[in-house]
Amino acid sequence: MIGVGGTDWKHYVRRKPNVVKRRIRKGIPDCLRGLVWQLISGSRDLLLMHQGVYEQLVLYETSASELDIIRDISRTFPSHVYFQQRHGPGQRSLYNVLKAYSVYDREVGYVQGMGFLAGLLLLYMSEEDAFWLMVALLKGAVNAPMEGLYLVGLPLVQQYLFQFEKLVKEQLPRLGAHFDQEMINPSMYASQWFITVFSYSFPFPLALRIWDVFLHEGVKVVFKVGLALLKYCQDDLVKLPFEKLVHALRNFPEDALNPDTLLPLAYSIKVSKRLEELAPEYTQMNDRQLQTSNSGKKEQRPKQKQSSLRC
């Protein structure tokens, strides 16, 4: 499929897209994963078009986020041998990639969850390759851009959580009603799913298989996997009170995290059309809330002025 160094990839994808989709869903061979991730994300093309840029960013630029990055590095995959050694090669590479991105995109800069993205990529490719794959993801070289997950206020996270809550209520009504009763909302358990694409606290065999599909098909796979997890555990979750429910939603049982069990269930769940419908609904709701907030501020100003005059 990929040819020598990826030379046949684009031709094969054009000729047999369904074969490529099925093969990726089965799991990319680990020895080819780094190269295939670069090909399906579009990052290999970005690297070839911007030779020398990464080195410039690492060696000759400074970042306002450097101290934050240094502080967080030891918290990124702390149990993984590659990142355990203080100032070791893993931590140095992670620092370089995050620092380079914070300089490259100063509007986003650095946000804590980005370390898990960079760390996962560095297990399969060089610093420079990992950097351009992050650029491809956040700027949207192939799929929808992810940068809204990390901008101030996390606007894309808020949208995804709104959409996910709607999907839970529609596709898992019994669990959705129980969540409402116990006052559980997706921000309590699903934010990290979207911010790190399941690379935070989920077993590597599952995270890698999700990333294979995520890079090819986009964020819809995060919704599918999240719904599949809840569906698989629904009978147990609906019996739990608030405290135990929060714990269970952050600590799924081992059998639920088996890729060969969970992913086929996830692929059977349809979300694309509904996500498209819910996106403008979220925007409209947001606009209404903003208008209400602004009108409230306008009403308050004259009262404050009269109050000061009376004083």
pLDDT score recorded for residue 299: 59
- C-beta separation of 40 from 216 below 8 A: yes
What is the set of domains in the chain, with CATH numbers?
Answer: 42-146 (1.10.8.270), 155-273 (1.10.472.80)
Please tell me the distance from the alpha carbon of residue 1 to that of residue 14, in angstroms, as a whole number: 11
pLDDT score recorded for residue 5: 79
As given in the structure block, the two tokens for residue 54 are 């990464």
pLDDT score recorded for residue 143: 93
Cα dihedral 189/195/196/198 (nearest 10): 40
pLDDT score recorded for residue 310: 39
pLDDT score recorded for residue 290: 77
Please tell me the distance from the alpha carbon of residue 266 to that of residue 259, in angstroms, as a whole number: 10
3-state secondary structure of 3: coil
**Burial (Cβ within 10 Å: 0-12, 13-18, ≥19) of residue 308:** exposed
Nearest alpha-carbon partner for 197 in 219, 216, 180, 178: 219
pLDDT score recorded for residue 301: 54
**DSSP characters over 185-252:** -GGGTTHHHHHHTT-SSS-HHHHHHHHHHHHHH-THHHHHHHHHHHHHHHHHHTT--HHHHHHHHHS-
Residue-level pLDDT, tens digit, the chain, 311 residues = 888 878 888 899 999 999 999 999 999 999 999 999 999 999 999 999 999 999 999 999 999 999 999 999 988 998 889 998 888 999 999 999 999 999 999 999 999 899 999 999 999 999 999 999 999 999 999 999 999 999 999 999 999 999 999 999 999 999 999 999 999 999 999 999 999 999 998 999 999 999 999 999 999 999 999 999 999 999 999 999 999 999 999 999 999 999 999 999 999 999 999 999 999 999 999 888 878 777 666 555 555 444 333 33
As given in the structure block, the two tokens for residue 200 are 């935070």
pLDDT score recorded for residue 295: 67
- C-beta separation of 59 from 93 below 8 A: no
